Chains A and B, each alone.
Chain A
């Protein structure tokens, strides 16, 4: 299983970024996927999840209305569109696979892509 995030960088407050996660070595279309973030020196915070076919999504309250999760199963790629970015969105963003075992079990994590929101 490989998960490779990209798209992070420095953005001004109020700006936008689109993160991507290229998945390989497993049947991407069969798994729910998540984004989890970690601010520098802080703990893990769940951001969003998406069902196998994209028909169901959910978000943490802190990003609802600003972030949009999506996927392209033909390209084996997960996305996170981030709009109206704030300083508190600064974090390392992980792309994570949900194993499909009862409830949520996050069995594979990417290396993360760093998003810095600053003027």
Chain B
């Protein structure tokens, strides 16, 4: 079983739709959580960190459920420019490294 699991998609949604991605992690000692965005053939870039109380950045909302070891990302009012792969990333405290999921591909259609 992978340490960080995501549905690879693709998620095909129309512009303006709301879409949610989920991610589960296996190490209960994990300390920090992130969503990265990766455009096709580009490098990953930090989208947002995920805090225990949940956090919002414009159209993006991230949630963390430590009890269920589950992270989510909600995108409201999808734009064409949101089309990308969204990587769920977990910091495993004991191993001092970032663990990436396989990514979820989002395609926003006009």
Is B truly associated with A?
A: no
Give chain B's interface residues, CB within 8 Å of chain A.
none
